[in-house]
Amino acid sequence: MKPLDDDHSKKLFFNRLFGSESDCPEELKQVCVEIAEICDGLPLATISIASRLLSQAVMSNDLFTYIHQSLISCFSAVPTSERTRQALNLSYNNLPRYLKTCLLYLIMYPEGYTFLKDDLVKQWVAEGLIYTAEGQDIEKVAESYLYQLIGRSFIQPICVNYNNEVLSCQVHGLVHDLIAHKSEEENFIVAIDYSCRKNVSLSHKARRLSLIFGDARYAKTQANIRKSQVRSVRFSGLLESMPCLTEFKLVRVLNLQLSGQGCRGDDIADLSGISEMFQLRYLKIACDVCIKLPNHV
């Protein structure tokens, strides 16, 4: 994203926070201008900081002044090119734990991937990442988590229907980089992407496994990964490179995108081993070959 000039940067900040500059309380205008200036015209940094302020229960001059001083301290030794990352990191650190966990789960998807809202919500629920009070609809709560992350600009809506309901989303590249780093620190997900030779983590104690093999014919899952501990698996690649599903005894989420490239026309992918996944709560299979499924799961 190209940097904005001062006027457009200020307008973006006020519009995000108050709807317009004219709706900003008079006592907050000066400190808001100073906060916007610190963002140096960087759109994502501006939106991230404004979203962080918007999430506060009470807006006061003391709070805004404190955040302004914190930003000065944080950005003083940081080059302009790194300020967006720093702003995103500050916003991430300010998230409640339940939102951090749900956000980190998005490393299951590769950078630039457009995912369906309903798919993600169901995966969060299946993984046990959603906490509800008695009588609450768990999928409605999960959906509210998604909208909170959208409101804080960590997730970008891609397709919205006529009722203003989000149907699909993406994660900005800088946000994806941030949560990949956080995921690695916490050993949250093992992500192996053969398209860019990127490994987020290679811990043998993986609880979540994202395998993006593409058309790599000799791609393999690392032997040291204890598959019996894995709770979520997302695989995208050739049928011949798919790991042995029966080794994932405790998996709760299974998302397969299979390509039959190189297979004979009469080849059938035998996925009957899914019947042994007694903890399975979410299953999605997309493929261009015939598959054999069990009679029951």
pLDDT computed for residue 121 by the predictor: 98
Q: Which residues contact 296 (CB under 8 A, 6 or more apart)?
A: 275
Q: Which residues contact 193 (CB under 8 A, 6 or more apart)?
A: 110, 199, 210, 212
Cβ(248)–Cβ(273) below 8 Å: no
Number of residues that make up the chain: 297
Report yes or no on 177 lying in a domain.
no
CATH of the domain at 125: 1.10.10
Report yes or no on 180 lying in a domain.
no
Give yes or no: residues 88 and 112 share one domain.
no
pLDDT grade, residue 233 (50/70/90)? very high
DSSP string, 10-54: HHHHHHHHHSSGGGS-HHHHHHHHHHHHHTTT-HHHHHHHHHHHH
Q: How far apart are CA 241 and CA 212, in angstroms?
A: 10
DSSP 278: T
Tens of pLDDT, residue by residue over 13-51, are 999 899 988 999 999 999 999 999 888 888 888 888 888
Q: Which of residues 69, 93, 117 is at a domain's end?
A: 93
Q: How far apart are CA 231 and CA 226, in angstroms?
A: 11
Cβ(109)–Cβ(234) below 8 Å: yes
Give yes or no: residues 222 and 286 share one domain.
yes
Q: Which two tokens stand for residue 259?
A: 């390509």
The answer to pTM > 0.85 is no
Number of domains in the chain: 3
**DSSP helix/strand/coil, 117:** helix
Tens of pLDDT, residue by residue over 157-208, are 999 999 999 999 999 888 999 999 999 888 899 888 876 655 545 556 778 9
Report yes or no on 265 lying in a domain.
yes
Give yes or no: residues 46 and 127 share one domain.
no
Tens of pLDDT, residue by residue over 128-144, are 999 998 899 999 999 99
Higher pLDDT, 57 or 245: 245
Q: Which of residues 43, 73, 93 is at a domain's end?
A: 93
Cβ(24)–Cβ(14) below 8 Å: yes
- Percent of the chain at pLDDT above 90? 44
Report yes or no on 182 lying in a domain.
no
pLDDT computed for residue 263 by the predictor: 65
Which of 84-88, 135-139, 218-222, 289-293 bottoms out in mean pLDDT, i.e. has the lowest? Answer: 218-222
Report yes or no on 178 lying in a domain.
no
pLDDT grade, residue 209 (50/70/90)? very high
Q: Is 287 left (phi over 0), alpha (psi -120 to 50) or beta?
A: beta
Report yes or no on 263 lying in a domain.
yes
pLDDT computed for residue 215 by the predictor: 76
Q: What is the bridge-based pairing of β-strands 115-116 and 166-170?
A: antiparallel
pLDDT computed for residue 236 by the predictor: 92
Which structural domain range is residue 34 located in? Answer: 6-93
The amino acid that residue 86 corresponds to is: Q
